[in-house]
Structure 1
Amino acid sequence: MPPKKTFDAAFRAELTQLLTWRRDVRQFRTDPLPAGTIERLVQAAGLAPSVGLSQPWRFVFVEDAGRRATVRQVFEACNATALAGYSGERAERYARLKLAGLDAAPCQFAVFCDRSVLQGHGLGRATMPETLDYSVVLAVHTLWLAARAEGLGLGWLSILDPAEVVAALAVPESWHFIGYFCLGYPTAEDDTPALERAGWEQRGDPGSVIVRR
């Protein structure tokens, strides 16, 4: 029988603190990451659950200056379009959000789901193939928490045209784009989401999302 592992109240309190202080970071210091950080975080991401143990996540670390510049241009175009969709005070707030971390973050990477993955032998996804994508998102969240535990911040940049990012990174056709991320040391830390601090939105009551049948 495998050994039993228990987690005491002190550990659970620390875990709650980690979840509370995890932020979607937009402003980074330019300090480089210590050697081995990327590999360590990807290893942590690999502990995430995946349908059929398929592990379909693929991490593309973008180090080439030209490719980074292309992603920056894609963001600028999409951000301008997004800004044009707002007016008045909402437009002013949007303009102040600083939605990109592309200028300072020392590490940028894209995450993909390899929908052609053979690992797992198709278990659990015959009726819901989208569970492959869900598995990758779980890996991202696992990496996010591991990064936060090391004092790092992660920013998910969603104001992008996926097709243009895929073209810029030249990945296999079977790789489905999940997200583009900036990783580095945040310029500041906070236990409240930036969008809440900026008056953009407020967290809802947890009880409001519970439905009983």
Structure 2
Amino acid sequence: MTCPVFPTDFRDTLDRLFLWRRDVRHFRPDPVAEATLDGLLATACLAPSVGLSEPWRFMRVDRPDRRAAVRADFARCNAEALAARTGDDSGRYAALKLAGLDQAPHHVAVFCDADPRQGRGLGRMTMPETTVWSAVMAIHTFWLAATAAGLGVGWVSILDPDRIARILDADPDWTFLAYLCVGYPQEHADTPELERQGWERRDPHRRGWIIR
């Protein structure tokens, strides 16, 4: 089988995709077509995984009562995070919009089966965390595919993993990794919202090799 040749214009477009992939918190309410959502999941499952274990578990959260419970958990955890901050930092934190839970038409929870039978343990003896890393690769692949389709994704991390697993009645052997808000963004941007709001900036030193 001959490997495809990716021309320069394709690579330039891919670079733009990486640049415009943003953590979105402001969504339009329009639902995304089921076929599009299914296509994003199919693309996510092309991600690499240790030992071909495919440990990711993508869960659609559609029930209003479960969404409300997740929203309540976010509010609780966010209030605790705010209380732990002091001075000017507290005010800056309070001004941030950190989730699109109320606007996003679709919610996706991602779990990892940390010790799946599939893959027969290959590559995990000394580094068992590789199943989690593999699931995160699938999340990133999903995110890039969504961006390419004109959609936005917001990763909500201010949640209690154990409570979320109980709310969603997840398999007890699964580890909660991410809660994703998915939908059409109100606006597109090529810089992170946290940078636009002055919370933090990218460090140019992170773009260089560490030589040993």
The TM-score, its normalising length taken from structure 1, stands at 0.96
Identity of aligned residues (%): 52
Partner of 1:104: 103
Partner of 1:45: 44
Q: Does 1:32 align with 2:31?
A: yes
The one-letter code sitting in structure 1 at the alignment partner of 2:4 is K
Partner of 2:123: 124
Q: Deviations over 1:144-184 (max 9, x none)?
A: 00000001000000000111000101111111111111000
Partner of 1:13: 12
Q: What is the Cα deviation at residue 207 of structure 1?
A: 5.1
CA distance in 1, matches of 2:27, 2:197: 18
Q: Does 1:82 align with 2:120?
A: no
CA distance in 2, matches of 1:46, 1:208: 29
Name whichever of 88-97 and 38-47 sits farther off: 88-97
Count of aligned pairs between the two proteins: 212
Cα distance, 1:177–1:209 mapped onto 2, change above 3 Å: farther
Q: What is the Cα deviation at residue 38 of structure 1?
A: 1.8
Q: What is the Cα deviation at residue 35 of structure 1?
A: 2.5
Q: How does 1:161-176 map to 2 (within 5 A)?
A: 161-176=160-175
CA distance in 2, matches of 1:34, 1:123: 37
Partner of 1:177: 176
> Structure 1: 5+ residue runs without aligned partners?
none
Maintained 8 Å contact 1:93/1:198: no
CA distance in 1, matches of 2:84, 2:209: 32
CA distance in 2, matches of 1:55, 1:206: 34
CA distance in 1, matches of 2:210, 2:196: 29
CA distance in 1, matches of 2:173, 2:144: 28
CA distance in 1, matches of 2:14, 2:62: 33
Cα distance, 1:208–1:139 mapped onto 2, change above 3 Å: closer
Partner of 1:193: 192
Q: RMSD over aligned Cα, in angstroms?
A: 1.2
Paired residue secondary structure (2:132) = helix
Paired residue secondary structure (1:42) = helix
CA distance in 2, matches of 1:94, 1:117: 39
Paired residue secondary structure (1:36) = helix
The one-letter code sitting in structure 2 at the alignment partner of 1:103 is D
Partner of 1:160: 159
CA distance in 1, matches of 2:48, 2:19: 22
Paired residue secondary structure (1:176) = strand
Cα distance, 1:90–1:207 mapped onto 2, change above 3 Å: closer
